[in-house]
Amino acid sequence: MVVFAGIVLLINAVYNIVVWPRFWTRVAHDPRARDDQGRATRFLKVHAILIGIALLIAVVSAIAGVMLLLQP
């Protein structure tokens, strides 16, 4: 069961690291991301925070997955 959990955590990490940066490029180029003066809107800021949290969770998942797989 420990090996399974480690593998699931690593799959989760890889998925998030692949998906969220691609989503960020779409958000950043969305017309709602900037106002008329070129400043970041709430739309861009909220998505930046959500994507940052998702990537942080991905890193933690990767670390936890590796630790589970390397334990004796």
One-letter amino acid for residue 71 of the chain: Q
**Helix 2-28 crosses helix 42-70 at what angle (to 10 degrees)?**
160
| Model confidence pLDDT, tens digit, residues 1-36 | 999 999 999 999 999 999 999 999 999 999 999 999
Question: What pTM was estimated for this model as a whole?
Answer: 0.86
What gap in Å lies between CA 40 and CA 29, rounded to an integer?
A: 11
